[in-house]
Amino acid sequence: MKIAAVQMCSSPVPADNLARAAALVAEAAAQGAELVALPEYFGLMGRRDADKLVHTEMPGQGPMQDALARLARQHGLWLVGGTLPLKLSDDDRHVTNSCLVWGPDGQVAARYDKIHLFRFDDGERRYDEAATLCAGPAAPVAFTLHGRDGVALRVGLSICYDLRFPELFRALMQPPCDLFVLPAAFTYPTGQAHWSLLLRARAVENQCYLLASAQGGTHENGRRTWGHSLVADPWGEVLAVQPEGEGVVCADLDPARIAAVRRQLPALTHRRL
């Protein structure tokens, strides 16, 4: 099965971002991808954190959700919609950073709200997601993907900063996943230091594929994101990568490769804690 990560350098204009996302999803579909993942904040990289509150949507309705449902249906693929700001029923000063998945029929198959909120301060740059985001329930979310060849795969969801918390990925392995998907908007300094290292580690620890779709480039708000969207296999080998700038990263997910790695080194069966 071919899987694809879309890398973007999103702007503060949602309509422009939706148009670019549609073009890139179409490019991935033309390459035969059955699952495509957009990056975190694909629809809006605002000039201020509070811009999320202006462009938030109600769960189940809104221009971004409607557009992604149409794309999944149009191309007949599974679409991991990066993240969207969704309204809370009891708090108008915060939103959830939500990853929704649409099936080939255009229906929502899964929703995961980011549980680990990023905070960074190196003396020059400061960022605190909790100023506008509310963390989701501390529970793993996975769904079953049915491929065109009839093969069923278990896919676990995570978002950006979650990558630093291996316990989430361990929880997603009960029962074991075949693929982790991680939309992200890693900052340039943290990405340069830790992005590939952590992604490969999560793939190796859990002996499954990992698809990471990232923001990559210098945005209109002055923020620079690391990019390097990639696909890693269960042995930690990077199969494809997009260093920076807009693009599509495609690779094949082979269930036989997962089985071979787990058979040769049955680490998942050796756990004691």
What CATH number corresponds to the domain at position 154? 3.60.110.10
Distance CA(10)–CA(46), nearest Å, equals 9
What is the pLDDT at residue 127? 77
Stretch 95-100: mean pLDDT? 98
113-140: per-residue pLDDT in tens? 999 999 888 777 777 899 999 999 999 9
CA count, 13 A, side-chain hemisphere, 11:
11
Q: Assess contact for 7 and 231: CB atoms under 8 A.
A: no
2-58: per-residue pLDDT in tens? 999 999 999 999 999 999 999 999 999 999 999 999 999 999 998 888 888 999 999
Q: How confident is the model at residue 148 (pLDDT cuts 50, 70, 90)?
A: very high
What is the pLDDT at residue 210? 98
Q: How confident is the model at residue 164 (pLDDT cuts 50, 70, 90)?
A: very high
Tell me the average pLDDT of the chain.
96
Q: Can you read off the two tokens belonging to residue 89?
A: 């029923």
What is the pLDDT at residue 162? 98
Q: How many CB atoms lie within 10 A of CB 198?
A: 19
What is the pLDDT at residue 22? 98
* DSSP code string of 65-132: HHHHHHHHHHHTSEEE---EEEE-SS-SS-EEEEEEEE-TTS-EEEEEE--S--EEE-SS-EEEGGGT
**3-class SS shares of the chain: helix, strand, coil, % to 5:** 30, 30, 40
With a pLDDT cut of 70, the percent of the chain lying above it is: 100
Angle at 20 between CA 19 and CA 21, to 5 degrees: 90
225-235: per-residue pLDDT in tens? 999 999 999 99
Strands 84-87 and 78-80: unpaired
Q: What are phi and psi of 36, to 5 degrees?
A: -130, 135
Distance CA(170)–CA(214), nearest Å, equals 22
What is the pLDDT at residue 124? 75
51-96: per-residue pLDDT in tens? 889 999 999 999 999 999 999 999 999 999 999 999 998 898 999 9
What is the pLDDT at residue 160? 98
How far are the Cα atoms of 64, 127, 209, 215, 236 from residue 43, in angstroms, in the given order? 7, 19, 26, 11, 30
Q: How confident is the model at residue 204 (pLDDT cuts 50, 70, 90)?
A: very high
Stretch 245-249: mean pLDDT? 97
Give the rounded distance of the alpha carbon of 228 from its chain centre.
13
The catalytic site residues sit at: 40, 114, 160
Q: Can you read off the two tokens belonging to residue 256?
A: 């036989």
- For the chain, the domain total comes to 1
Dihedral angle computed from the Cα positions of residues 16, 25, 217 and 231, in that order, rounded to the nearest 10 degrees: 160
Q: How confident is the model at residue 187 (pLDDT cuts 50, 70, 90)?
A: very high
Q: How many CB atoms lie within 10 A of CB 191?
A: 21
Q: Which domain holds residue 131?
A: 2-269
What is the pLDDT at residue 48? 87
The strand pairing partners of 108, in sequence order, are 102
Q: Assess contact for 190 and 184: CB atoms under 8 A.
A: no
